[in-house]
Structure formats: structure tokens, C-alpha cells
């Protein structure tokens, strides 16, 4: 048996083995990306384990893009938002294929939550991490104007361009049936003007 001798360049060898990959920072809880799976906790013979099925669906759902799915059906997302009627920009009746006036029906006409896998309250609760009283945002996509200033002043302006944008869902209002969302920054984080994570729907201890 020979005595173990530590190499003289041990520190440099250790540094080379250490991974230089930085863990991606996120303001979203890990469980907020997990799909809801209707499977028993105990595996039935011939059926995938629950954890395997959850991971498979999570990866599958991450490959979906709502803008691409709508575009494949010939739907222009920018046309989904109602705009002010401007008679000066209306094309002549000879040039229109369908009708003189743009066709628009509000989303609530088609909105049906009968087959939703989670209630709005369950979606929001995904922001709660075990052992923490703070509720983090939940990841989502929202059809929002690219111009925030004009979008707040006049959301029906003809000049606005609407796109599906990554957001953090902060809260839900049961009376109006509306969600409060906040656009993510370039790093995919949900931060306030001071660069701090937005928690509990943006409500601070001071109210």
C-alpha cells in the first residue's frame, strides 16, 4: 500500500472539473410548470408511473406555442383585439372579401371553463411554495400591446400591435373574472421598478 499523495496542481484540476454552467434564475416556483395528471398515486401494472407521465406532459406542453397554433389555423393574433372604427381607413366594398365591417365578437362569448383542469384559484395557488407564506407569480402568456404607454392610454388604438407575451400571473379577481399579469423582463423575471421580485400580487406589507 502506497501513501496517497495529493497532486501539486490539485486546485487547478478541481477548478476544471467544476461546472461553469450557471443555474438559471427564475421568479416562478418549480411546481407551477407541472401539469395536472389524473393518475392514481400507486401505479397500475402496464401504466406509466405518475412522475414519468407528469414529466412527459411538462416537456410536451413546453413545445406548444399559442401564437404558432393560432397562425397554423389562419388566425392573426393582432386581429383578436377590438379597435376603434375608422371610416377613413375602410377599404372599398369591391376590395373586401367577406364584409364591409370587421368581424368581432368578445372572447367571453366563446369562453368555457367546463373542461378546465384547474380553477382560477388553483392556478394562483401554484405560486405558493412549501414552507413559504409568500405567493410567487405563475407563468403564463397574455395577448398584450407591445407599446405599454399607448396600450394603457388607448388599448383600442389602431396604431397598437398586439402579441402573445410571457407574463407572470400575479392575482385573480373573482368578481370581474380577470387576471392581473406583469410582463417578464429580458431574463424572464417578474420584477418591480426597483428590480425586486413581485410577490403576493404586488401587495406590500404597507398595502
Strands across the sheet containing 138-145: 138-145, 162-173, 178-183
Using the CB atoms, write b or e for 16-36: b if 16+ within 10 Å: eeeeeeeeeebbbbeebeebe
Looking at the predicted structure, is the pLDDT value of residue 12 above 80?
no
Question: What is the percentage of the chain residues whose pLDDT exceeds 90?
Answer: 42
Q: Where are the domains of the chain?
A: 25-202
Q: Which of 88-92, 95-99, 104-108 has the highest mean pLDDT?
A: 104-108
* pLDDT given for residue 131 in this prediction: 87
Query: The whole model's pTM is what?
Result: 0.73
Q: Which of 42-56, 143-157, 176-190 has the lowest mean pLDDT?
A: 42-56
Does 114 have pLDDT greater than 80?
A: yes
In 3D space, the residue among 30, 204, 33, 31 whose CA is nearest the CA of residue 134 turns out to be 204
Lowest mean pLDDT among 12-26, 35-49, 117-131: 12-26
d(CA 205, CA 146): 31
Measured in degrees and rounded to the nearest 5, phi and psi for residue 72 equal: -65, -20
pLDDT 10s digits, 137-181: 999 999 999 999 999 999 989 899 999 999 999 999 999 989 999
Which of 130, 131, 125, 159 lies closest to 145, judged by CA?
159
Give the 3-state DSSP-derived string for the chain, with helices as H, strands as E and coil as C.
CCCCCCCCCHHHHHHHHCCCCCCCCCCCCHHHHCCCCCCCCCCCCCCCCHHHHHHHHHHHHHCCCHHHHHHHCCCCHHHHCCCCCCHHHCCCCCCCCCCCCCCCCCHHHCCCCCCCCCCHHHHHHCCECCCCCCECCEEEEEEEECCHHHHHHCCCCCCCCEEEEEEEEEEEECCCCEEEEEECCCCCCCECCCCCECCHHHCCCCC
pLDDT at 14: 61
pLDDT > 70: percent of the chain:
79
Question: Do 54 and 37 touch, CB atoms closer than 8 A?
Answer: yes
Amino acid at each position: 500500500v502506497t501513501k496517497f499523495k495529493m497532486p501539486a496542481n490539485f486546485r487547478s484540476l478541481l477548478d476544471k472539473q467544476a461546472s461553469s454552467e450557471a443555474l438559471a434564475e427564475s421568479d416562478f416556483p418549480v411546481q407551477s410548470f407541472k401539469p395536472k395528471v389524473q393518475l392514481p398515486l400507486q401505479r397500475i401494472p402496464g401504466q406509466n408511473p405518475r412522475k414519468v407521465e407528469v414529466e412527459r406532459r411538462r416537456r410536451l406542453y413546453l413545445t406548444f406555442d399559442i401564437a404558432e397554433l393560432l397562425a397554423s389555423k389562419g388566425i392573426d393574433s393582432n386581429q383578436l383585439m377590438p379597435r376603434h372604427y375608422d371610416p377613413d381607413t375602410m377599404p372599398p366594398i369591391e376590395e373586401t372579401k367577406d364584409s364591409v365591417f370587421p368581424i368581432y365578437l368578445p372572447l367571453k362569448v366563446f369562453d368555457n371553463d367546463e373542461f378546465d383542469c384547474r380553477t382560477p384559484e388553483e392556478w394562483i395557488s401554484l405560486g405558493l411554495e412549501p414552507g413559504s407564506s409568500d405567493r410567487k407569480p405563475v407563468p403564463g402568456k397574455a395577448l398584450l400591446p407591445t407599446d405599454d404607454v399607448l396600450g394603457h392610454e388607448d388599448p383600442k388604438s389602431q396604431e397598437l400591435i398586439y402579441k402573445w407575451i410571457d407574463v407572470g400571473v400575479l392575482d385573480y379577481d373573482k368578481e370581474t373574472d380577470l387576471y392581473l399579469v406583469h410582463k417578464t423582463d429580458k431574463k424572464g423575471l417578474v420584477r418591480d421598478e426597483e428590480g425586486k421580485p413581485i410577490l403576493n400580487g404586488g401587495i406590500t406589507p404597507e398595502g
